[in-house]
Amino acid sequence: MNKKEVAKILEEIGELLDIKGENPFKVRSYYNASRTISTLQEDIDTLVNQGRLREIKGIGEALNNKITELVTTGKLKYYEDLKASLPEGLIDLLSIPSLGPRKIKTLYEKLNITNIGELEYACKENRLVSLEGFGPKSQQNILEGIKFKRKYDRRFLYPEVEKEGQYLLERLKGLKGIIRISVAGSLRRKCETVKDIDILISAEPEFSNDIMNTFCSLDRVEKVIAQGDTKSSIMLDSGINSDLRVVSDEQYPYALHYFTGSKEHNVEMRRVAKKFNRKLNEYGLFEEEKNIPCKDEEELFEALGLQYIPPELRESFGEIEAAQKNQIPKLLEENDIRGLFHIHSNYSDGVESIENIVKKCIELGYEYVGICDHSKSAYYANGLTEERIIQQHREIDALQGKYSQIKIFKGIEVDIASDGSLDYNDDILKSFDVVIGAIHSKLKMTAEEAMERMVKALRNPEVDMIAHPTGRLLLAREPYPLNINHFLEEAAKYGKIIELNANPHRLDLDWMGCKYAKGLGVKVCINPDAHSLIGLNDMKYGIGIARKGWLEKEDILNSLSVKELQEKYFDAE
C-alpha cells in the first residue's frame, strides 16, 4: 500500500469517527496523520521497515501500529470494524460536496438517513428545511450535489431519462432525411429505472451521415463514445448515455420491435416465429430467406398471429400468450383518472394550503380530492395531533361549502406501528372518510414480522387502503422483506385497496404486483403522494406503471365517480 492509499484510509477513519461523534482530539489525530503521510518525502514502506514511523510528528504508538498493519498486510482490522459499525451507505454521503461528517451525523440521528437515495428523497420531501444546521439553501445545495454525483452512476430514475429522451427527440426529429423516429429500450417500455436512451430512426440512406453528425455534436453532448454510419453513442452532460441507430424504412418495424425489447420478450417472439417456420431478428421476419413485408409493428405482430402488444407489456410476463388468445387488456389512460387521494397539505409536511390544492385539482379537472396528511407519530413530518385534525376538518367543511364543484375527502395517512396498531383510536379514525395505513418507521423486519404487521392493519375495519406497501425507494432502499403476493391475497380477503404510489422514487406497488392484484380483484388506487402542486404531475408515472402492470380502468379505484366511491367505499355523509 502506498502513501496515498494509507492517507486516504486514515482520513476515512477520521470521518467515520467524526460521524460517530467520537472525541474531537482523536478525530483530529487521524486527519493530521493523513495529511502528514500524504506529504512525506520518503517512501512509507521504508519508514515502516526501518521502524521509523514514530519519528514523525503526530504519530504515536496506536497510529504506528495501525499504519504498520496497513502497509504490511494491506488491511486494517480496526478500520474494517469501524466501517461495519455504521450503515454501509453512510460513508457515500461524504462524496456529496456540501456534506461533512457532522452534518451526516445529524441526518443519521434525526432523520435516520443512511444513504444517498434516502437523502435525496428527504430533500424532496422538504425534511431538511427545518432541521438544525440545515435550511432551504443547504437542502438545495445537497440536491445539486446528489445530481452531480449521479452523473457518474449507472442507472437513472425514469423521469430523468424521459426528460433527456424528449430533448434528443426534439433536436433530431426535424432533420432532413428522417422518415420515422422513436425511442426504444427500457424507456419505451416505461421501466422504473433506465440505463440509457435507445433511439431508432429510419432515414433516406444518403442523409444517415448528417444525422449522425448532428447527434454527436448536439450542445449537450459531453462525450462521443462512438460514431458510425448506422450506430452512434454519446454521453450527455447529465451523465446519461444515448445510442442512436439509423436504419432503412423497410427495416424500421423489425428494428423498433427488436430494440424495444425486452431481451426476454424478444427470445419468446423468436420462438413464436420458429413455430411458423420463420426467423425473426432486427432486420426482418424471414421465411426461407425471403422477408415478409410489415409496414409497422402492428403488422409484425399480426404476421405472427398475435394481437398488438403495447411496449409496456413486453417483459415476458404472459403477454405473448395473452396476445395469442386476443386477451391483451385495454390499458388505463391518463384521462380515466377522476380524482386524487394521498395529498399532503401544509398541515403536515406539504408546502401548499388545502385551498390551493383544491383549486389546483379543480383546474386539472378532477371530481374529487383526498387530503391525507401524516399522523401524529410522524413527528419529523409534523404529523397531526387530535386537535389539529379537528381544526383541519373544520377547514375542509368550510372549503367544501365554497367549492361545491369538487368533493373534498377527509383523509389521513396513518402510521402503522411495529405491532400493527394504528396511531389514533377508532373514534378519531372514524372521523375520516379515507384512512390510508402506511409504514414509515422500524423498517428492519423479518418477512414474518412484516407480514404480521401489515395483515394486522388490513384486518382493522377502519383502514381503507395501504400506502406504498413494500417501502422501497428506487436506487436507494430495498423493499422490506414482505411476500407481496401473499400480502395481496390477504388484502383481497379483507377487501382493502392497495396504493400504487406514483412518486417516481417509489412506484410501489410495483408493476408485477399490479398484475397480481388484478388477478385477485384487488382495487389499486394511483396516488400522487404529493407534497406540492408540482408533485401532482407524478400521476403520469403511476399511470405508466399501472399500464405496465396490465391494469385497466376497471381495476383502478380513482377512476370511479364520486357517487360510486361513496356508495361502495367511503360512506356518504
266 binds, among Ca ion, ligand DGT, none (CB under 5 to 8 A by kind): ligand DGT
Q: Binding ligand DGT by CB under 6 A: which of 62, 179, 267, 534? A: 267
C-alpha triplet 275, 281, 287: angle, nearest 5°: 50
- Which CB sits closer to Ca ion, 185 or 535? 185
**Total residues in contact with Ca ion, by rule CB under 5 A:** 4
Is 558 a residue that touches ligand DGT (CB under 6 A)? Answer: no
Residue 544 partner contact from Ca ion, ligand DGT, none using kind-dependent CB cut-offs of 5 to 8 Å: none
373 contact choice in ligand DGT, Ca ion, none (CB below 5 to 8 Å, kind-dependent): none
CB of 191 to ligand DGT, least distance (A): 6
Choose the one of ligand DGT, Ca ion, none that binds residue 182, judging by a C-beta under 5 to 8 angstroms depending on kind: none
Q: Number of residues interacting with ligand DGT: please give it, by CB under 6 A.
A: 14
| DSSP secondary structure of 236-289 | ETTS-EEEEEEE-TTTHHHHHHHHH--HHHHHHHHHHHHHTT-EEETTEEEETT
User: Which run of H or E residues covers position 211?
Assistant: helix 208-216
Q: In which residue are the cell numbers 401532482 written?
A: 536
Residue 194 Cβ vs Ca ion, minimum distance, rounded to whole Å: 6
Scanning the structure block, which residue is given the C-alpha cell 386537535?
Answer: 387
Residue 390, contacted partner among ligand DGT, Ca ion, none, CB below 5-8 A by kind: none
Backbone angles phi, psi at 543, to 5 degrees: -65, -40
- Give the N- to C-terminal CA distance of the chain in Å, as an integer: 73
Site string for Ca ion, 142-181 (x = CB under 5 A): ----------------------------------------
Using the rule CB under 6 A, which residue among 266, 345, 470, 503 binds ligand DGT?
266
Q: x/- string (CB under 6 A) for ligand DGT, residues 385-424?
A: ----------------------------------------
Site string for ligand DGT, 151-190 (x = CB under 6 A): ----------------------------------xx----
- Could you say which residues in the range 183-212 bind ligand DGT, by CB under 6 A? 185-186, 191, 194-196, 198
**Binding partner of 517, given Ca ion, ligand DGT, none, CB within 5-8 angstroms per partner class:** none
Q: How far apart are CA 155 and CA 462, in angstroms?
A: 40
Pairing label, strands 193-194, 156-157? antiparallel
Residue with smaller CB distance to Ca ion, 161 or 473:
161
- Closer by beta carbon to ligand DGT, 156 or else 570: 156
| Angle at the Cα of 309 from the Cα atoms of 303 and 312, rounded to 5 degrees | 150
**Cell 469517527 -> residue:** 17
Phi, psi of 389 (to 5 degrees): -65, -45
- 223 beta partners: 235
Nearer to ligand DGT, 265 or 523 (CB): 265
Count the Cβ atoms, other than its own, within 10 Å of residue 520. 14
Residue 258 interaction partner, one of Ca ion, ligand DGT, none, beta carbon < 5-8 Å per kind: ligand DGT
Cβ distance to ligand DGT smaller for residue 184 or 412: 184
259 binds, among Ca ion, ligand DGT, none (CB under 5 to 8 A by kind): ligand DGT
Q: Which residue is nearest to Ca ion (CB)?
A: 185
Which C-beta is closer to Ca ion: that of 198 or that of 415? 198
Shortest distance (Å) from residue 262 CB to ligand DGT: 5
Q: Which stretch binds ligand DGT (CB under 6 A): 25-33, 255-263, 301-309, 337-345?
A: 255-263
Q: Which of residues 180-199 bind Ca ion (CB under 5 A)?
A: 185-186, 196, 198
Half-sphere exposure of 154 (CA within 13 A, CB side): 0
Q: Which stretch binds ligand DGT (CB under 6 A): 35-43, 260-268, 363-371, 390-398?
A: 260-268
Q: Is 281 helix (H, G, I), strand (E, B) or coil?
A: strand
* C-beta separation of 187 from 194 below 8 A: yes
Dihedral, CA of residue 488, residue 492, residue 496 and residue 502, to nearest 10: 40
Contact by Cβ (8 Å): 463, 493: no
Query: From the CB of residue 51, how many other CB atoms can be counted at a distance below 10 Å?
Result: 10
183 or 467, CB closer to ligand DGT? 183
- The helix/strand/coil state of 572 is coil
Q: Are the C-beta atoms of 454 and 416 separated by less than 8 Å?
A: yes
Between CA 183 and CA 166 the distance in angstroms is: 9
Q: Write the CB contacts of 307 (distance below 8 Å, at least 6 apart in sequence).
A: 301, 322, 323, 324, 326, 327, 328
The CB-of-249 to ligand DGT minimum distance in angstroms stands at: 20
| Closest CB to Ca ion among residues 261, 310 | 261
**Phi then psi for 466, rounded to 5 degrees?**
-115, 130
Q: Are 211 and 234 in contact (CB under 8 A)?
A: no
Give the separation between CA 15 and CA 18, rounded to whole angstroms. 5
Question: Which of Ca ion, ligand DGT, none binds 402 (CB below 5-8 Å, type-dependent)?
Answer: none
A 10 A CB-CB count for 518 gives 21
**Which listed option, Ca ion, ligand DGT, none, makes contact with residue 158 (CB within 5 to 8 Å by class)?**
none
Q: Which is nearer to Ca ion, 127 or 548 (CB)?
A: 548
Residues that bind Ca ion (CB under 5 A): 185-186, 196, 198
Residues that bind ligand DGT (CB under 6 A): 185-186, 191, 194-196, 198, 258-259, 261-263, 266-267
